[in-house]
Amino acid sequence: MSNEDTSNTAVGPNPLNLAFDRWTALDRDWKAVILGTLVLSVVLVS
Amino acid sequence: MIARNTARVAPGVAVLVAGAAVAHVLSTVVGVNRLILAVGLGVVVANSVGTPEWAEDGLATHKLWLETGIVLMGARIAVDQLLSVRLSLLVLVVGFLGFSLLFVELVARNVFEIPDRLGSLLAAGYSICGVSAIVAVSSGVRAKSEQIAYAVATILLFDAVTLAAYPAIGRLLDLPDIVFGIWAGISMVSTGPVVAAGFAYSPAAGQWATVTKLGRNVFIGVVAIIYAIYYARQNGGEGQTSVASWRYFWDQFPKFVLGFVLVAGVASAGLLSDAEIALLERGYQLLFLVAFVGLGTSIEIQGMRRTGIKPLLVVLSALVTVSVLSLGATMLVFG
């Protein structure tokens, strides 16, 4: 067997890339809501 | 992937931040409001040396910073005061929105005899929120691309003119902050210039201007549906059922208003200390400054020449009429 089965070592899509893709596809209004809520959360938590 | 996209946007964002820093420093030297300087700087750069291609994607993010700033501004809103005037404010906003729509439609069709569809684009653009409203109603109105371009150029011209003129008129008439803010929110055109003019006048005026303008913006869905149904009927009912839906309304709705309401709710529930509110205030002031440099770069004086004289006169007549009447009404109610 010279050709080893490498399918179980295949790397899936990078979750960071997936998250970034979803962010890029988001409507600008929702991005503003998320960014604003994030800043608010940071201020509340810190 | 992430690195590539970041590299695409980062240079333009860096230009916005650098412009904001320059406007801030300049304002301490020349004594002119830094928000006005930020817009002016953007206009000067875009119309002299031009904006380089490598910066365009980043410069286009200015609306995101403006909307994020508005979301954070919810922390500074005096909800009690807002609720105490909600009915008068709502009547003024809805009354003048309806009046502006009808005025532009009637003047466009009967006085200047411009095509119905162009008149409708101008009516929606002037009455609600400028270019966003034009884009939102354009599919329902089934406007041609050159009519959209005419309407956009006309509205952008008035954005630039009112941004410079309103704070000056306000100071000349020595208007109280609340009167100036509500007047600007009712009678100016796009959200960016309304926020810029309001905060250039005073922080309190900026908050009233923004709240009033958001009140206008939320009607975009209703107006888009009304236009879509009207023009569908004119075309024998084609597409009428598909537009009269909640989905269509929701698609047009400015969702960042929900973020503003959320932050205002958190602040009014007493969950934020004075220091935290002050921190958020610094945050939105910074975001506005960055956004207004981008707003300036989007004002292309050459492009405004594309507008025809008739669309220009239609919006000018509406602006003068609505401006005078709404100033009188606002002074009467809030002065």
B285 touches chain A (CB under 8 A): no
Q: How much of chain B, in percent, has pLDDT values that exceed 90? A: 51
Residues of A in contact with B75 (CB under 8 A): 40
At A1 the pLDDT is: 44
Please check the confidence at residue A11 and state whether its pLDDT lies above 70. Answer: no
- pTM over cut 0.95: no
Q: Answer yes or no: is A3 within a domain.
A: no
Residues B92-121, mean pLDDT to the nearest whole number: 94
At B17 the pLDDT is: 96
- Ordered DSSP codes for B275-314: HHHHHHHHHHHHHHHHHHHHHHHT--HHHHTTS-HHHHHH
Residue A18: domain span = 13-45
Nearest in space to B58 (alpha carbons), one of B70, B44, B42: B42
Q: Is the ipTM of this complex over 0.85?
A: no
Burial B227-257 (b: 16+ CB within 10 A, else e): bbbebbeeeeeebeeebeeeebeeebbbbbb
At B335 the pLDDT is: 79
Q: Answer yes or no: is A1 within a domain.
A: no
Q: Looking at the partner chain, which of B259, B272, B276 has a beta carbon nearest the beta carbon of A37? A: B259
Residues A25-35, mean pLDDT to the nearest whole number: 92
From B63-72, B120-129, B263-272, B304-313, the region with the lowest mean pLDDT: B304-313
From A5-19, B17-31, B112-126, the region with the lowest mean pLDDT: A5-19
Taking an 8 Å cut-off on Cβ atoms, the answer to whether A17 and B259 are in contact is: no
**Per-domain residue ranges for chain B?**
2-334
Q: How much of chain A, in percent, has pLDDT values that exceed 70? A: 74
Taking an 8 Å cut-off on Cβ atoms, the answer to whether A20 and B1 are in contact is: yes
B245 touches chain A (CB under 8 A): no
* pLDDT, tens digit, 9 for 90 and up, residues B216-257: 988 888 888 888 888 888 776 655 555 567 777 787 788 888
Name which residue leads in pLDDT, B194 or B132: B194
Please check the confidence at residue A7 and state whether its pLDDT lies above 90. Answer: no
Residues of A in contact with B255 (CB under 8 A): 27, 29-30, 33
Number of domains in chain A: 1
Taking an 8 Å cut-off on Cβ atoms, the answer to whether B259 and A32 are in contact is: yes
Taking CB atoms and an 8 Å cut-off, how many pairs form between chains A and B? 70
